[in-house]
Amino acid sequence: MTMPAPDQDRRRVVIEAVTPEIDGGRFPIKRTVGEEVVVEADIFTDGHDALSAVLLHRHAGETTWRQAPLEELVNDRWRGRFAVDRLGRHLYTVRAWVDHFGTWRRDLEKKVEAGLDVTVDLQAGATTVADAAGRASDEHAAALRSLGRALVDPGTGRQAQVEAAFDRHLADLMAAHPEPDEATTYPRELEVAVDRERARFSAWYELFPRSCVENLAGAAHATLADCGSRLEYVAGMGFDVVYLPPIHPTGRSHRKGPNNVTTASPEDPGSPWAIGSEAGGHDSVEPRLGTLADVRAFIARAEQLNLEVALDLAYQCSPDHPWVKEHPDWFHRRPDGTVRYAENPPKKYEDIYPLNFDTPDWRALWQELARIVFFWIEQGVRIFRVDNPHTKPFAFWEWLIGTVKAEHPDVIFLSEAFTRPKVMYRLAKLGFTQSYTYFAWRNTRWELTEYFTELTDTQAAEFFRPNLWPNTPDILTEYLQTGGRPAFLIRLVLAATLGASYGIYGPAFELLQNQPREPGSEEYLDSEKYQVRRWDLDRRDSLRPVITLINRARRDNRALQSDRGLRFHRVDNEQLICYSKQTEDGENVVIVVVNLDPYHTHHGWVDLDLRALGLDPEHPFQVHDLLSGAHYLWQGPHNYVELDPHTLPAHILRVRRHVRTEQDFSYYM
Amino acid sequence: MTMPAPDQDRRRVVIEAVTPEIDGGRFPIKRTVGEEVVVEADIFTDGHDALSAVLLHRHAGETTWRQAPLEELVNDRWRGRFAVDRLGRHLYTVRAWVDHFGTWRRDLEKKVEAGLDVTVDLQAGATTVADAAGRASDEHAAALRSLGRALVDPGTGRQAQVEAAFDRHLADLMAAHPEPDEATTYPRELEVAVDRERARFSAWYELFPRSCVENLAGAAHATLADCGSRLEYVAGMGFDVVYLPPIHPTGRSHRKGPNNVTTASPEDPGSPWAIGSEAGGHDSVEPRLGTLADVRAFIARAEQLNLEVALDLAYQCSPDHPWVKEHPDWFHRRPDGTVRYAENPPKKYEDIYPLNFDTPDWRALWQELARIVFFWIEQGVRIFRVDNPHTKPFAFWEWLIGTVKAEHPDVIFLSEAFTRPKVMYRLAKLGFTQSYTYFAWRNTRWELTEYFTELTDTQAAEFFRPNLWPNTPDILTEYLQTGGRPAFLIRLVLAATLGASYGIYGPAFELLQNQPREPGSEEYLDSEKYQVRRWDLDRRDSLRPVITLINRARRDNRALQSDRGLRFHRVDNEQLICYSKQTEDGENVVIVVVNLDPYHTHHGWVDLDLRALGLDPEHPFQVHDLLSGAHYLWQGPHNYVELDPHTLPAHILRVRRHVRTEQDFSYYM
């Protein structure tokens, strides 16, 4: 037989198992401006040649790669890092090649050490250098030629020739002129979606503006203009995002009354998620709240207080939404010709019409939905909390978020998808900046440890940014219903320290609202979703002071501003959880201990991983409780803790590292 | 601004995390004819719709997919399986779609259970069925129309209409006519390289034919024709592959003498890996061994004994190889114009010239190297043991093996790459059928457990088929040097039962050769690599009888014929290792216990995972030692073992499951 002629790509270096890489590069990883990306890869070739490798990276708007060094670890694994310095997409990949000069120099060294004759080797080296000179600019070519001649200079001795081989300048010049067409570039350019800092570190406060009436006996429905002092109250606790449920006109048809009853009286405000009335749709403002000008004023007032306003993006309509008449084909029809309302059999939601994202007119619908986002961006909004994204097509979100962020890379989208894990992760991969989580239902030490290990110590950490909510208007957990004030404190500390982003629905949270609509329900009794509520913000048992302390601790400690650097430590009492957060440079270390039992005092011994914390087992270290203000002197891994949930169920301990001074040493001298 | 028009792929179903999949589908997984491929995938969509999914598979030579069902496990994971029924490449992928009819039926069921009115729902169902009828063949269309009418038939009651919705025939017909263009097909077609059974299950015996002289005082150099009774001896022990080091003419220049000395006397045979002389190159036979006809006769004799012959593929040349003159450009040159010999600084191998695989004439060189393989295939060879593949380019191997297997999918290549783990795995991915391993140097229980867990319980098991050698002509381990006969027995049992493929270099192995060339060396004293050896096959302490027993146990127990189904069990003595092998159907279970200490008797309690073994903790079970012939009655997880390395350091226990008979029950009655 005739042999088929080979026609192979013969590049010898293999680059594989590059991390981070999400689904073969289909999705970007996420970072915020200033953060680092640590890249690793398996890099190897046949035989025994030495290799060189670099990490290539650039902003998507740049045309040339920047280089960062890759260093060999063990077992053919290499590592490098680069920082992302601006918003938008960044790209990275890996390049590697056989380092012929390095191989030659390594082998020469071995032969010299073994006392072998290296005449021929020096000649070979001179040839290699001369070849590189041929590829170099005039200036470098002259230098290379001169350095190459030194390897075989008959005028100097063998020792001088050998020393010339190890010249540092020669190595640098050879590295700068590798052989062409031999390098392997990893076939994928991997992406980093770079957001602003708030995407990583944020404290949210959800409120219903219609309840923001200071006068407890006052009018039924507050306006946005009434909300000024409430914004001051929220800012005073140290939050940085104030999130409003939909502020658009609420539908009349099938409007729900208090506690979700199906008949409403004329003054009942209805659920703000039933969007649209004769007053307008998603780009209008509920008249009882005010006007578009009031929204802008609200945003401006918030800004003065260092608060950002997040709006709700709920792509669904009340039967009275203008689109129902203007675009009847944007909705599903039932066989009897009526518009299909929302259902989760056997439950019916007749005040809500879902949109048909797959309508033949889908392009126009999607464009209109995008227009809504751009409209609110125009008004100054940069954060959107997205309602139930998992019931709309994945393709829509990828397109919408991509389209918005191409223009406005500073926009943040929070995914409210309380659904199956893989769907939640998919939405995060498709572009959502932050995501709600299962945190509200993770109460035991085992559950918390498992879940937060998954969120922070697996690939999920590269694309899924958790935002931890102990409560929402839809979620009043059994734990909060039954555990009293200690339960609220416990969940608050966990949310604010396990995650860099957290939020509460207030004032229900700080005012310890824990009555369910009925036993077994996670709905609030007299939920603000269906009625205006009056709140006594000055209640003596309000969590306001401790929230303020916790938010201050978060601002003062960089370790609490990232989801990286979380580590769990053993405690000999199952009701106590201990974990630390630390910055990558190790300069800021916070140790948190929480009593998870809201009923009883617990004590136990924590067993700290001192090595990981960078603590010297031989020296005491001071820990400062940022909640109680107490100082403790700890030493070694084993330290005693005792927490009474009725006073304070948690320590948030800032570690003050022992600093060695003359005095310390004098003790031993 | 004008919104950009969306132009998305709007298919709603996501398929990801398909396993097995090697490097994003770049490489095939491996199976042998008759084996199954179990495929899993994450499959999900937005919202709450029901999904359908199938596994598609076909032989590369077929044009249409065959289908196998995929079943939903938990957490959006689906699983299916198919068997590969012939040699060559098979393909598989996954397809999934929204099951509108299934969703409708599920929701209808919920509403009926809740007692809701389903008039409109039955109408909707009838429309869906009518749509499907429009896509069906005449015969099916009629059936569908009739079944659809039953959903809204005014002549029957509501109950009959609802029952019609759950008609099995309707479900089958609807499943057979899904909505077009809605299905998501996983974007990659994944490959299975299907080999014959010997690729999975083989027992190898390496011998130097030049030493196959039965007369201990006889001639210096045996011929292939002398080897007949040696083949009978090998076959008698139950091996199925006899592997010969290179049988080609050995070079004269720089020929090595006994114990690798650099001067050889005229009668010294030299290393057979220094290939090529005036008598020819890789397609010729060393004259002292015989002729090509003798090779064919040798192969024929082996075949009669159910032995396959494996040849060595060592792509390197002695300085006397015809290619050195005919194709001087196929070799590297040194600056002084001489051909570059092999080096591993500071070691020199002046009797070996490596080939320059990157020569400008590389296509001709590669074609010639492939021709060599096809030449020996012509002579009846189907197994090649490849010498040092890791020092030749990866691209070459992928091309060579691909080219050969396209014509001869039954050919087996064994990779002799004792190098870094990722390089070994890469060679396996590129096409090598089996691979040497680090087994020879894994002696402790921890080392063996770690290594074999990696080889059999990670993705590596999909592409890397270990072939376990306790010794080779290059490897006489310290363990064998120092442990005496017990050490040989221990390593033999481990090799033959931890892996489905194993091999020994004999008669050095069964005759317990353990003298190194010098202390600290893994080279044999008076190595057969450099001299002819006489072997006293009838030595009383030969391992021949026990090897025969072990190979019989392997043939009689399917559990030992696959690398799947390995499980380690706890033993309370660190010197004892216990593991089981079992077939997927659980019908054949073998438990192996080995004393890893060649010096002392050890005893201990094994702690069997009875559940995994399918054993009833309430009933005794018989184990039959296939080495000693003893029978033991064991019960429960904890069973006592005691092993004296000087008699037999191992149990190979076939489990005879308790069979319930009338008698058993009568005991309790």
- What sign for the dihedral angle of Cα A29, A34, A40, A44? positive
- Full 3-state SS string of B302-366: HHHCCCEEEEEECCEECCCCHHHHHCHHHECECCCCCECCEEECCEEECCCEEECCCCCCHHHHH
What does the alpha-carbon distance between residue B98 and residue A500 come to, in Å, rounded to a whole number? 37
- Beta strand A36-44 pairing with A77-83: antiparallel
What does the alpha-carbon distance between residue B218 and residue B532 come to, in Å, rounded to a whole number? 11
Query: Which residue, among B7, B8, B123, B128, would best test binding to A if mutated, counting the most A CBs under 10 Å from its CB?
Result: B8
- Chain B, 84 to 143: residues with Cβ < 8 Å from chain A are 107, 110-111, 113-114, 116, 120, 123-124, 127
CATH class of B14-194: mainly beta
Structure tokens that stand for A82 in this block: 């680069």
Q: Among A582, A586, A577, which Cα is nearest to A641's? A: A577
pLDDT at residue B266 in the model:
87
What does the alpha-carbon distance between residue A30 and residue B5 come to, in Å, rounded to a whole number? 26
Percentage of chain B exceeding pLDDT 70:
97
pLDDT at residue B491 in the model:
98
Angle at which helix B292-304 crosses helix B228-236, to 10 degrees, equals 30
Residue entry with tokens 């396959």? B308
Q: Among B385, B391, B274, which Cα is nearest to B344's? A: B391
Q: What is chain B's mean pLDDT, rounded?
A: 94
CA distance B31 to chain A (A): 24
In the predicted structure, residue B661 carries a pLDDT above the cut 70: no
Mean pLDDT (whole number) for A31-41 = 98
Q: Name the architecture of domain B199-313+362-537.
A: Alpha-Beta Barrel (3.20)
Contact B422 A113 (CB under 8 A): no
In the predicted structure, residue B219 carries a pLDDT above the cut 90: no
A5 φ/ψ angles, rounded to the nearest 5 degrees: -75, 130
Of chain A, the end-to-end C-alpha distance in Å amounts to 87
CATH class of A561-668: mainly beta
Sequence-distant (6+) residues with CB within 8 A of B275 are: B246, B248, B249, B250, B251, B281, B282, B314, B316, B317, B318, B321
In the predicted structure, residue B1 carries a pLDDT above the cut 80: no
Angle at which helix A100-113 crosses helix A119-135, to 10 degrees, equals 160
In the predicted structure, residue A664 carries a pLDDT above the cut 60: no
Burial class of B371 by CB neighbour count within 10 A (0 to 12, 13 to 18, 19+)? middle
**B666: part of which helix (H) or strand (E)?**
helix B662-668
What does the alpha-carbon distance between residue A525 and residue B392 come to, in Å, rounded to a whole number? 74
CA distances to A61, A90, A110, A453, B389 from A47, rounded to whole Å, are 39, 35, 17, 40, 9
pLDDT at residue B218 in the model:
59
What does the alpha-carbon distance between residue A536 and residue A541 come to, in Å, rounded to a whole number? 11
Enter the DSSP assignment of A53. Answer: E
**A632: part of which helix (H) or strand (E)?**
strand A631-634
What does the alpha-carbon distance between residue B276 and residue B252 come to, in Å, rounded to a whole number? 9
Mean pLDDT (whole number) for B161-179 = 91
Measured between beta carbons, which residues in chain B are less than 8 angstroms from residue A346?
110-111, 113-114, 116
- Chain A, 3 to 62: residues with Cβ < 8 Å from chain B are 3-6, 8-12, 14, 16, 23-24, 42, 44-48
Residue A282 exposure: Cα atoms within 13 Å on the Cβ side? 19
Q: Determine which one of A387, A462, A528, A625 is catalytic.
A: A387
CA distances to A113, B484, B498 from B502, rounded to whole Å, are 40, 21, 9
- Is A226 noted as a catalytic residue in this protein? no
- Beta strand B308-313 pairing with B241-244: parallel
ipTM: 0.93
In the predicted structure, residue B657 carries a pLDDT above the cut 80: no
Residue B601 exposure: Cα atoms within 13 Å on the Cβ side? 7
pLDDT at residue B155 in the model:
87
Burial class of A157 by CB neighbour count within 10 A (0 to 12, 13 to 18, 19+)? exposed
Dihedral, CA atoms, B362, B367, B373, B377, nearest 10 degrees? 170
- What sign for the dihedral angle of Cα B551, B557, B558, B562? negative
Q: Among B308, B626, B385, which Cα is nearest to B493's? A: B626
Fill in the amino acid letter for A382: R
> Do the beta carbons of residue B290 and residue B248 sit within 8 Å?
no
What does the alpha-carbon distance between residue A174 and residue A151 come to, in Å, rounded to a whole number? 14
- Chain B, 316 to 345: residues with Cβ < 8 Å from chain A are 334-336, 343-345
Question: Measured between CB atoms, does B179 come within 8 Å of chain A?
Answer: no
What does the alpha-carbon distance between residue A349 and residue A357 come to, in Å, rounded to a whole number? 19
- Beta strand A190-195 pairing with A29-32: parallel
pLDDT at residue B215 in the model:
66
What does the alpha-carbon distance between residue A523 and residue A231 come to, in Å, rounded to a whole number? 26
Domains B199-313+362-537 and B561-668 share a fold: no
Question: Measured between CB atoms, does B217 come within 8 Å of chain A?
Answer: no
> Do the beta carbons of residue B394 and residue B403 sit within 8 Å?
no
Q: Bigger pLDDT: A139 or B31? A: B31
Count the neighbouring beta carbons within 10 Å of the beta carbon of residue B96: 25
Mean pLDDT (whole number) for A96-115 = 93
Express each pLDDT in B525-569 by its tens digit: 999 999 999 999 999 999 999 999 999 999 999 999 999 999 999
B596 φ/ψ angles, rounded to the nearest 5 degrees: -80, -5
Burial class of A576 by CB neighbour count within 10 A (0 to 12, 13 to 18, 19+)? buried
Structure tokens that stand for A506 in this block: 């207030």
Structure tokens that stand for B325 in this block: 């003159």
Lowest mean per-residue pLDDT among A123-127, B36-40, B411-415: A123-127
Measured between beta carbons, which residues in chain B are less than 8 angstroms from residue A27?
none
What does the alpha-carbon distance between residue B136 and residue B588 come to, in Å, rounded to a whole number? 48
Express each pLDDT in B116-162 by its tens digit: 999 999 999 999 999 999 999 888 999 999 999 999 998 888 999 99
The angle subtended at Cα B421 by Cα B418 and Cα B424, nearest 5°, is: 60
Contact B107 A6 (CB under 8 A): no
Residue entry with tokens 């190790």? A586
Prior bond of B519 cis (ω within 30°): no
CB pairs < 8 Å spanning A and B: 156
Dihedral, CA atoms, B288, B292, B298, B304, nearest 10 degrees? -170
**B80: part of which helix (H) or strand (E)?**
strand B77-83
Q: Where are the alpha helices (DSSP H) in A305-444?
A: 322-326, 362-378, 394-407, 421-430
Express each pLDDT in B11-22 by its tens digit: 999 999 999 999
Count the neighbouring beta carbons within 10 Å of the beta carbon of residue A408: 13
Lowest mean per-residue pLDDT among A183-197, A465-479, B257-271: B257-271
> Do the beta carbons of residue A104 and residue A121 sit within 8 Å?
yes
What does the alpha-carbon distance between residue B425 and residue B432 come to, in Å, rounded to a whole number? 10
Measured between beta carbons, which residues in chain A are less than 8 angstroms from residue B120?
334-336
Express each pLDDT in A493-535 by its tens digit: 999 999 999 999 999 999 999 999 999 999 999 999 999 999 9
What does the alpha-carbon distance between residue B515 and residue A155 come to, in Å, rounded to a whole number? 52
Confidence of residue A666 (pLDDT cuts 50, 70, 90): very low
pLDDT at residue B67 in the model:
95
B308 strand-pairing partners: B241
Confidence of residue B665 (pLDDT cuts 50, 70, 90): very low
Burial class of A571 by CB neighbour count within 10 A (0 to 12, 13 to 18, 19+)? buried
Contact A44 B113 (CB under 8 A): no
pLDDT at residue A659 in the model:
52
Measured between beta carbons, which residues in chain B are less than 8 angstroms from residue A426?
14, 44
Q: Bigger pLDDT: B550 or A156? A: B550
pLDDT at residue B216 in the model:
60
CA distances to B220, B246, B533 from B257, rounded to whole Å, are 14, 17, 13
Q: Determine which one of A286, A416, A462, A625 is catalytic.
A: A416
Lowest mean per-residue pLDDT among A11-25, B41-55, B334-348: B334-348
> Do the beta carbons of residue A382 and residue A352 sit within 8 Å?
no
What are the sequence ranges of the domains in chain B? 14-194, 199-313+362-537, 561-668
- Sheet containing B434-435, strands listed edge to edge, beginning at the edge strand earlier in sequence: B434-435, B412-416, B383-387, B308-313, B241-244, B202-206, B501-505
Structure tokens that stand for B152 in this block: 């809204």
pTM: 0.93
Measured between beta carbons, which residues in chain B are less than 8 angstroms from residue A374?
1, 3
- Is A387 noted as a catalytic residue in this protein? yes
Dihedral, CA atoms, A611, A613, A619, A621, nearest 10 degrees? -160
> Do the beta carbons of residue B62 and residue B91 sit within 8 Å?
no
